[in-house]
Amino acid sequence: MGSRASSLLREEEIEEIKKETGFSHSQITRLYSRFTSLDKGENGTLCREDFQRIPELAINPLGDRIINAFFPESEDQVNFRGFMRTLAHFRPIEESDKNKDPRVPEPLNSRNNKLLFAFRLYDLDKDDKISREELLQVLRMMVGVNISDEQLGSIADRTIQEADQDGDLSISFNEFQKVLEKVDVEQKMSIRFLH
């Protein structure tokens, strides 16, 4: 099946995707095979329903938020290249990715880009800050009915109190980064099948 997948992808496309995402040739062909198996419409794109058939996303409390991350604003389909760009955020960081040349764009799987991806999962209204209400909504998605609203409110209040440095009662991306300074983002945001 791998040879079929690579025959449908042109070598130039594979090389461009390698450059853009950092995935190896074999990872790209394997993921292309997975992409085409999810593409039930056989039109070279995936829709939200295609993603919802992935068991790991179906059971993940943030599955819908993760699925939405694959779709640019007001788009309802994603092509293979867009699929790979989003997956690249979950690719483990390797020594070769740590290029400090300011002329070279930061890799999609850099610590900063991984944090930005995670931040956007919480920033439901896309206003570049996480409000108490947004935090509560995401916490509810994650814990369901296992914790009372009062307890969730207390968690949200404490989180904002600890993270909010400018007193606007919300969490900016810079504040989000600061709170997660010592967290091993690499460990938390890597997908096993990409190793």
- Write out the chain's pLDDT in tens, 195 residues: 444 444 478 999 999 999 999 999 999 999 999 999 999 988 999 999 999 999 988 888 889 999 999 998 889 999 999 999 999 998 887 765 555 666 667 888 888 888 999 999 999 999 999 999 999 999 999 888 889 999 999 999 999 999 999 999 999 999 999 999 888 876 666 654 443
d(CA 178, CA 163): 8
| Each residue's pLDDT tens digit, 167-191 | 999 999 999 999 998 888 766 666 5
- Kindly state whether residues 82 and 111 are assigned to the same domain: no
Residue 67 falls within a domain, yes or no? yes
Tell me the CB-side half-sphere exposure of residue 5, using CA atoms within 13 A: 17
Residue 100 falls within a domain, yes or no? no
- Kindly state whether residues 80 and 115 are assigned to the same domain: no
Domain containing residue 16: CATH number:
1.10.238.10
Q: In terms of C-beta density within 10 A (0-12 exposed, 13-18 middle, 19 or more buried), how is residue 124 classed? A: middle
pTM of the entire predicted model: 0.79
d(CA 177, CA 15): 32
Joined together, the tokens standing for residue 111 give 């610590």
Indicate the residue type of 6.
Answer: S
User: In the chain, how many domains are there?
Assistant: 2
Residue 132 falls within a domain, yes or no? yes
- What is the SS3 assignment for 62? coil
Spatial contact of 164 and 171, defined as CB atoms under 8 Å apart: yes
Residue 3 falls within a domain, yes or no? no
Q: Which of 60, 89, 118 is the last residue of a domain?
A: 89
| Whole-number pLDDT of residue 2 | 42
- Kindly state whether residues 124 and 156 are assigned to the same domain: yes
Residue 95 falls within a domain, yes or no? no
Q: Which of 89, 123, 139 is the last residue of a domain?
A: 89
